[in-house]
Structure 1
């Protein structure tokens, strides 16, 4: 059985679904391997312009596979090099939308924070409970959460392991939008569809500029932005976009 289901439900849109329902989509090493393979396939497919990541209607991901972790020691972790899974997802060049229903805990929460947009159902719950089992987040939780919501709000949840409701996460700026549980995937699909119609090179440059500029001084970040704009000035998509606007017709972007 595939631990990650891969689909293209609509033109330009890729869908990756975590598929370990019996284990609440716990992120085993085997699942993570299939996940980065799925991302690699979509990254190489020029027809795919936006990807949605979901765990299904009931749960996003309950975190790491604790049984597997319990059998893993420090040397095993060094040998496995689990960071490569997260680095591969963080380096995914196309827009990524996390569609979150139910629990997104531990590594599941960290996985969602790798996305560019998070759509959460009203009953979604987020948390980093690692301190409850004598561990700390190991996929960027101690770094990404403070950057997303600020040190003091983040420390309140990192140190207690308490969960956030979808509504609280939205107020803190941690999720993009909260919708009815049965509207999570349709909303993600609708947003992905709109992104897929935009100029692919421009979309990629937006993502690259935002991520590259996030942790550097403003003047350096502005240089990143200017270079991205200068690069796009010679693209066929830029010429097509302006021509379609003047001619009052929908643009046909080819990512060139």
Structure 2
């Protein structure tokens, strides 16, 4: 039985963890189902944005299901939840978080580009309390996204924090009431979809690749070699945007 639901709303792919009775905790099969879902999203030329959510009102994802042996688990090619090591995905991924995002659930959210959370959401990496270590990239992403000292405090104390504190620390983009979560996610999607898909992909990839460089100067020097940046430079969108602006009409994106 699959506990992953995938649906499409035009250019938006919705990937929902559907195991609410277990707080959407991830089983071994779910990792591979998520790998397949993100593979299909990445390869679908009509899919522009992915939105990841959890079924029910209590949890986005409570991490790994500890009824399974997580130490010897065979993760898919792109790592935890099929996303943690998917470093070449240039399309935007949004996490819509309602309820707990703990352990691997927090790591899944951190691997997304944007986090929209309800005011009842909470986040944490409590693995050490169970004698475990966060293996899905959370240790590294959290330190990069909020700074070393703040990340160290959260990781070593195993604290769970609110969405408001996540917003203050900088890893949550917006905090909303639960009844407004979908409409705010829809707004983010609509805003992204106004722009050239080629330019969006180039912008995300240039930003992420640039973080691997030691300085802004190095990042700028390497920018012209980034695959999606190269594709954007030769795309029709790169010409259509300025032309539409000068002709005072809406652009017609094709890339």
Name the TM-score, length of structure 2 as normaliser: 0.91
Q: Which structure dedicates a bigger proportion of its chain to helix?
A: 1
Q: Per the alignment, in what secondary structure is the counterpart of residue 67 of structure 1?
A: coil
2:93 equivalent among 74, 96, 99? 96
Alignment match, 2:79: 85
Alignment match, 1:173: 170
Alignment match, 1:65: 65
Residues 134-162 of structure 1 deviation map (CA, whole Å, 9 limit, x = unaligned): 01100111111111111111111101111
The answer on 1:134 being equivalent to 2:131 is yes
Kept in 1, the 8 Å contact 2:20–2:56? The answer is no
Distance 1:227 1:43 in 2: 21
* Mapping 1:94-243, distance limit 5 Å: 94-218=91-215, 219-227=217-225, 232-243=232-243
* Count of residue pairs the alignment pairs up: 248
Structure 1 unmatched ranges of 5 or more: none
Residue 83 of structure 1, CA deviation: 6.6
Identify if the C-alpha distance between structure 1 residues 174 and 137 changes in structure 2 by more than 3 Å, giving closer, same or farther: same
Residue 202 of structure 1, CA deviation: 1.1
Kept in 1, the 8 Å contact 2:19–2:25? The answer is yes
Residues 153-207 of structure 1 deviation map (CA, whole Å, 9 limit, x = unaligned): 1111101111010000000101111111121122112211221232111111111
Residue 232 of structure 1, CA deviation: 2.8
Kept in 1, the 8 Å contact 2:240–2:253? The answer is yes
Kept in 2, the 8 Å contact 1:4–1:35? The answer is yes
Distance 1:167 1:81 in 2: 32
Distance 2:148 2:65 in 1: 28
Distance 2:253 2:188 in 1: 17
Alignment match, 2:248: 248
Which of the pair has the greater relative contact order for Cα pairs under 8 Å at 6+ separation? 1
> Which moves more between the two structures, 177-186 or 120-129?
177-186
Structure 2 unmatched ranges of 5 or more: none
Distance 1:185 1:60 in 2: 14
Distance 1:239 1:57 in 2: 45
Distance 1:133 1:248 in 2: 60
Residue 246 of structure 1, CA deviation: 1.2
Name the TM-score, length of structure 1 as normaliser: 0.91
Residues 36-66 of structure 1 deviation map (CA, whole Å, 9 limit, x = unaligned): 1111111111111111111135120011111
Kept in 2, the 8 Å contact 1:42–1:48? The answer is yes
What RMSD, in angstroms, separates the aligned Cα atoms of the two structures?
A: 1.8
